[in-house]
């Protein structure tokens, strides 16, 4: 009997991994989107390689120019050139130090009185290692944008455990980030303020008109490539917390994906804190290619800034804060 049981165990198919069990065959439209995304990423990788090569050539050119200048100069001129270069370096270091100190002062002020925003990182079990890595890139961008803002928020990262926590720890300087880091869920970490928690999800019937300083807004950290629909809404309902959606449909129509990245949602909220204007916030952050042609006119100078921001992160880094369909 023991041998028979062993034989059966040998021929039994191995259990499917959770991700394999969850995935379903892609529809034709999904296959087209995937192919488009692959072309986009290939083009982006090529652009990145060209930029890297250009920077390398520029560095080499400047090094040669500096060497030639030193070789052709007299001893006195050489001393002046070296001292001038040292002075420029000192000025750059002082400027960076001042910017760093100003950033810390703003973030300290945000910890005392800033708008609280939480990124919920409890969905790592639904993502692959690459998707978690993509989410970490988005979080890096969130932190960078928040630090540059004149009115930064008080940022919380909750659910920083397991694979999610491990990948966050690989980010250079993460231990020194001026944010609240919690292994616990936001419900546990903020249980004393549960009545003020508001989960941002497009499935909500409540439209967010303004940001309430007393509320704590939650962004779901999930790079899901459209596999998980309505997940954040269901989670909020089960936990008995409030929900709301961004009023994007009141100001523009979307032409393609109905999904925004974590960093895009974060930047929209930060822009609104600065301007108190939803339309300006949406047009400043949402890429032009995601808008209908009639909505594509934007303030001069923002298109280039927007494209540069999008180059920092692949469009495949998608989080389930969906844009509601236009009314």
Distance CA 34, CA 28 (A): 10
pLDDT tens sequence across 179-236: 999 999 999 999 999 999 999 998 899 999 999 999 999 999 988 656 677 889 999 9
Which positions are annotated as active-site residues? 224
Sorting pLDDT into bands at 50, 70 and 90, what band is 256? Answer: low
260: which residues sit within 8 A by CB, 6+ positions away?
268, 286, 318, 319, 321, 322, 323
Distance CA 315, CA 300 (A): 23
pLDDT tens sequence across 33-66: 778 878 888 888 888 889 889 999 999 998 998 8
Handedness of CA 111, 112, 115, 121 (dihedral sign): positive
Q: Give the model's pLDDT for residue 200.
A: 95
- For residues 252 and 115, the model is more confident at 115
- Tokens encoding 134: 């993509």
- For residues 263 and 305, the model is more confident at 263
pTM summary value: 0.69
Sorting pLDDT into bands at 50, 70 and 90, what band is 291? Answer: low
Q: Return the closest-CA partner of residue 225 out of 48, 41, 45, 14.
A: 41
Distance CA 243, CA 236 (A): 7
Are the C-beta atoms of 146 and 155 separated by less than 8 Å?
Answer: yes
Radius of gyration for the alpha carbons in the chain, expressed in angstroms and rounded: 24
pLDDT tens sequence across 224-233: 656 677 889 9
pLDDT tens sequence across 1-16: 444 444 444 444 544 5
H or E element at residue 119: strand 116-120
Instruction: Give the end-to-end CA distance of the chain in Å, rounded to a whole number.
Output: 67
């Amino acid at each position: 009997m023991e041998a028979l049981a062993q034989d059966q165990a040998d021929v039994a198919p191995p259990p499917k991994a959770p991700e394999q069990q969850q995935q379903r065959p892609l529809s034709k439209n999904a296959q087209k989107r995937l192919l488009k995304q692959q072309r986009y990423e290939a083009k982006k990788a090529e652009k990145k390689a060209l930029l890297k090569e250009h920077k390398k050539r520029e560095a080499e050119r400047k090094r040669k120019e500096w060497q030639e200048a030193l070789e052709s100069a007299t001893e006195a001129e050489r001393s002046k050139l070296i001292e001038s270069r040292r002075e420029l370096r000192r000025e750059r270091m002082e400027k960076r130090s001042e910017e760093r100190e100003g950033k810390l002062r703003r973030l300290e002020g945000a910890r005392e009185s800033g708008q609280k925003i939480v990124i919920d990182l409890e969905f790592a079990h639904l993502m692959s290692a690459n998707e978690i890595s993509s989410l970490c890139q988005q979080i890096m961008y969130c932190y960078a944008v928040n630090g540059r803002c004149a009115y930064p928020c008080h940022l919380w990262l909750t659910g920083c455990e397991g694979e999610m926590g491990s990948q966050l720890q690989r980010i250079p300087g993460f231990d020194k980030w001026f944010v609240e880091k919690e292994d616990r869920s936001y419900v546990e970490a903020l249980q004393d303020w549960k009545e003020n928690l508001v989960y941002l999800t497009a499935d909500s019937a409540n439209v967010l008109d303004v940001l309430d300083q007393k509320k704590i807004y939650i962004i779901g950290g999930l790079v899901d490539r459209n596999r998980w629909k309505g997940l954040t809404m269901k989670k909020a309902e089960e936990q008995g917390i409030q929900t709301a959606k961004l009023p994007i449909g009141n100001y523009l129509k979307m032409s393609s994906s109905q999904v925004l990245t974590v960093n895009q949602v974060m930047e929209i909220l930060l822009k609104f804190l600065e301007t108190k204007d939803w339309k300006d916030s949406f047009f400043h952050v949402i890429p032009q290619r995601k808008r209908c042609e009639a909505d594509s006119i934007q303030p001069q100078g923002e298109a280039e800034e927007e494209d540069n921001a999008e180059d920092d992160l692949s469009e495949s880094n998608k989080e389930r804060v969906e844009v509601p369909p236009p009314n």
